A and B are shown apart, each in its own frame.
Chain A
Amino acid sequence: MTTPLLKIEQSSSSLSLYFYGDFTLYFVSKYEAQIKSANFDNIQNIEINLDNVTYLDTAAAIFINLIIEKVDNKNIKYRINSVNIEFLDTLALTQKYKSNIITQDAKKEQGYRYKLGEYFYENILGLFAFMAFLGKLFATKIHFIKNFKQIRFKEIFFEMNESAIKAIGIVSLTSFLIGLVVAYQSAYQLKLYGANIFIVDMLGISILRELAPVITAIVIAGRSGSAFTAQIGAMKITEELDAMRTMGFDPYMFLVLPRILALMITMPILIFLADIMGIFGGMIVANIDLGITSEMFLSRFTEVVDIKHFYIGILKGPFFAFLIASIGIYRGLIVKDDTQSIGFNTTKSVVESIFAVIVCDALFSIVFTNLGI
Chain B
Amino acid sequence: MNSIIKVNQLRTVFDERVVHAGLNLDIKQGEIYGLLGPSGCGKTTLLREMVLLQKFHGGEINILGYNLSTINQKDSQALRGQWGVLFQAGALFSSLSIAENIALGLVEYSDLSKNMIDEIVAFKINLVGLKPADAHLFPSQISGGMKKKAALARALALDPKLLFLDEPTSGLDPISAREFDALILKLRELLGLSIVMVSHDLRSIYDTLDRIAVIDDKKIVYEGNLDNIRDDTSEFIQTFFKANS
B112: interface (CB < 8 Å): yes
A93, B189: Cα distance in complex, Å: 12
Within 8 A of A (CB), among B9-67: none
Within 8 A of A (CB), among B68-119: 94-95, 99, 106, 110-113, 116, 118-119
A58 touches B121 (CB 8 A): no
B122 touches A86 (CB 8 A): no
A73, B110: Cα distance in complex, Å: 28
Contacts of A338 in B (CB 8 A): 94-95, 138-140
Given contact pairs A66-B119, A337-B140, A338-B140, A93 touches B190 in the complex (Cβ within 8 A)? yes
Contacts of B119 in A (CB 8 A): 62, 66, 98
**How many B residues touch the partner, as a band?**
20 to 34
CB closest residue in chain A, given B92: A338
Interface of A is mostly: helix
Q: Which of B116, B125, B127 contacts A101 (CB 8 A)?
A: B125
A310, B127: Cα distance in complex, Å: 71
A340: interface (CB < 8 Å): yes
Contacts of A55 in B (CB 8 A): 192
Contacts of A337 in B (CB 8 A): 140
Binds A, one of B128-136, B173-181, B194-202, B214-222: B128-136
B190 touches A86 (CB 8 A): yes
A22 to chain B, nearest CB (A): 11
Given contact pairs A58-B191, A63-B116, A99 touches B125 in the complex (Cβ within 8 A)? yes
Given contact pairs A62-B119, A102-B132, A29 touches B113 in the complex (Cβ within 8 A)? yes
Contacts of A112 in B (CB 8 A): none
B159: interface (CB < 8 Å): yes
Contacts of A340 in B (CB 8 A): 94-95
B123: interface (CB < 8 Å): yes
Contacts of B135 in A (CB 8 A): 101-102
B239: interface (CB < 8 Å): no
8 tightest Cβ-Cβ pairs between the two chains A and B: A338-B94, A57-B159, A338-B140, A99-B126, A97-B126, A337-B140, A101-B135, A97-B127
CB closest residue in chain A, given B99: A101
Given contact pairs A98-B123, A99-B123, A339-B94, A59 touches B112 in the complex (Cβ within 8 A)? yes
A294, B106: Cα distance in complex, Å: 71
Contacts of A101 in B (CB 8 A): 99, 118, 121-122, 125, 132, 135-136
Contacts of A265 in B (CB 8 A): none
A79: interface (CB < 8 Å): no
Q: Which of B116, B124, B132, B190 contacts A29 (CB 8 A)?
A: B116
Q: Which of B125, B159, B186 contacts A59 (CB 8 A)?
A: B159
What are 7 sample pairs from A and B whose C-beta atoms fall under 8 A apart? A25-B106, A25-B110, A25-B112, A29-B110, A59-B159, A99-B123, A336-B140
CB closest residue in chain A, given B127: A97
Within 8 A of B (CB), among A77-99: 86, 89-90, 93-94, 97-99
A273: interface (CB < 8 Å): no
A25 touches B140 (CB 8 A): no
CB closest residue in chain B, given A26: B110
B7: interface (CB < 8 Å): no
Given contact pairs A28-B112, A336-B140, A338-B138, A58 touches B99 in the complex (Cβ within 8 A)? no
B139 touches A32 (CB 8 A): no
User: What 8 additional pairs, Cβ within 8 angstroms, besides A100-B122, A101-B136, A102-B133?
Assistant: A25-B112, A29-B110, A89-B190, A93-B127, A101-B135, A336-B140, A338-B95, A339-B94
B158: interface (CB < 8 Å): yes
A238 to chain B, nearest CB (A): 10
Contacts of B125 in A (CB 8 A): 99, 101
B120: interface (CB < 8 Å): yes
A264 to chain B, nearest CB (A): 34
A24: interface (CB < 8 Å): yes
Q: Which of A30, A62, A90, A98 contacts B190 (CB 8 A)?
A: A90
A104: interface (CB < 8 Å): yes
CB closest residue in chain A, given B191: A57
CB closest residue in chain A, given B130: A99
B189 to chain A, nearest CB (A): 7
CB closest residue in chain A, given B131: A99
Within 8 A of B (CB), among A6-35: 24-26, 28-30, 32
B132 touches A99 (CB 8 A): yes
Contacts of A62 in B (CB 8 A): 116, 119-120, 123
Contacts of B186 in A (CB 8 A): 93
CB closest residue in chain B, given A93: B190
Contacts of A102 in B (CB 8 A): 132-133, 135
B14 to chain A, nearest CB (A): 22
A59 touches B139 (CB 8 A): no
A214, B116: Cα distance in complex, Å: 58
A59, B189: Cα distance in complex, Å: 16
B126 touches A98 (CB 8 A): yes
CB closest residue in chain B, given A55: B192
Given contact pairs A57-B191, A97-B127, A29 touches B120 in the complex (Cβ within 8 A)? no
B171 to chain A, nearest CB (A): 14
A263, B168: Cα distance in complex, Å: 45
A32, B135: Cα distance in complex, Å: 26
Contacts of B99 in A (CB 8 A): 101
A24, B116: Cα distance in complex, Å: 13
A48 to chain B, nearest CB (A): 17
Contacts of B124 in A (CB 8 A): 58
A328, B158: Cα distance in complex, Å: 42
A335 to chain B, nearest CB (A): 11
Contacts of A98 in B (CB 8 A): 119, 122-123, 126
